[in-house]
Amino acid sequence: MANTGHEDQLDVLIDLLRRSPLLEELQGAEYDRREIEDRLGVSRATSHRHTKLLDELGVIERVDGRFRLTESGALLAEACVRFKREASTALQLAPVLEALADAPVPIDNEAFADATVTNAEHGDPHAPLVRFIALVRETETLHALDLDIVAPARLDEIQGRIVGGMETELIGLPEVAREIIEGYPEKCIEACESGHLTVKLVDEIPFALTVFDHRVGIGVCEPDTRILRLFVDTDADEVREWAWAVYEAYEGEAIEMEGFGPEGLRRVMETPAFSS
């Protein structure tokens, strides 16, 4: 069966991506065959196949025994690098993008193209939490949707930042608030007495969202634990506008606690929003 024009183009794109390491090496540089073999760690036969195909496609040219990108080749090399970066980010972002499907405000996934993605799958299960805490240390204000992201791991440090003056508003689930209050009653009282903490409750939250002074973070926890397995943060203006819209949507339905303690929790749970 003969390929269609579309299929031909797809084959060319696949060939280019397979040889993208060579295209990346030739960005802003030129090398002879031996240098290409050394830089890519390939045999002479392999380098010959690569250069022959790319030359036939008009992507590279050989001048005085040295290979370099053509003008169109430079554009294609840049596109390959960008595609690999964005595709890698998209794969890592998959759990977050799935969670965002339930957000009350839509957002274009491309807004996260330059986001920092920290996951727990590369030898450090605590990496997402470490990244979150690093951002907490740099901010003077914190608005968080989902108390799971701050409890119970590293609660001491976050509570210390609140007592020290970090203006904090948390929106969470009643069951999580109850566990924090019962597990850390003195810390909850001290945080409330500082005057820098406001806690509100809602009955459903699809994902963890945090708005810092200069960045926005989104977290995904393991389904049956409070282990943060993926944390994505960005300073993109589009994401920041979206984050505030999402936060305000939940804030509009949330009930504020009168003190982050048993009595405050009881009063919220007795309101029609939770008692019905």
Asked if residue 126 is part of any domain, the answer here is yes
Each residue's pLDDT expressed in tens, for the chain with a length of 276 residues:
344 455 567 777 787 888 888 888 999 899 999 999 999 999 999 999 999 999 998 999 999 999 999 998 999 888 888 888 777 777 777 888 888 888 899 988 888 888 898 888 666 778 888 899 999 999 999 999 987 776 666 788 899 999 999 999 999 999 989 989 998 999 999 999 999 999 999 998 888 899 999 999 998 877 666 678 889 999 999 999 999 999 999 999 999 999 888 899 999 888 888 876
Asked if residue 88 is part of any domain, the answer here is no
Q: Please check whether residues 73 and 107 belong to one and the same domain.
A: no
Q: Please check whether residues 185 and 128 belong to one and the same domain.
A: yes
CA-to-CA distance for 270 and 274, rounded, in angstroms?
7
Q: Please check whether residues 120 and 213 belong to one and the same domain.
A: yes
Asked if residue 90 is part of any domain, the answer here is no
Asked if residue 144 is part of any domain, the answer here is yes
Q: Please check whether residues 212 and 146 belong to one and the same domain.
A: yes
Strand partners, 117: 232
Asked if residue 87 is part of any domain, the answer here is no
Closest CA to 259 of 194, 166, 176: 194
Angle between helices 155-163 and 185-193 (to 10 degrees): 20
Q: Please check whether residues 55 and 150 belong to one and the same domain.
A: no
Tell me if 86 sits within 8 A of 111, measured CB to CB: no
Q: Please check whether residues 24 and 108 belong to one and the same domain.
A: no
Q: Please check whether residues 72 and 142 belong to one and the same domain.
A: no
Asked if residue 212 is part of any domain, the answer here is yes
Q: Please check whether residues 29 and 160 belong to one and the same domain.
A: no
Tell me the two tokens of residue 66: 């040295």
CATH of the domain at 72: 1.10.10.10
Asked if residue 217 is part of any domain, the answer here is yes
CA-to-CA distance for 247 and 239, rounded, in angstroms?
12
Q: Please check whether residues 67 and 120 belong to one and the same domain.
A: no
CB atoms < 10 A from the CB of 7, how many? Answer: 11
Q: Please check whether residues 165 and 243 belong to one and the same domain.
A: yes
pTM of the predicted protein model: 0.71
CB neighbour class for 228 (10 Å; exposed up to 12, middle 13-18, buried from 19): buried
CA-to-CA distance for 110 and 74, rounded, in angstroms?
24
Asked if residue 97 is part of any domain, the answer here is no
Total domain count, the chain: 2
Q: Please check whether residues 140 and 259 belong to one and the same domain.
A: yes
Q: Please check whether residues 124 and 226 belong to one and the same domain.
A: yes
Domain extent for 37: 5-77
CATH of the domain at 126: 3.30.870.10
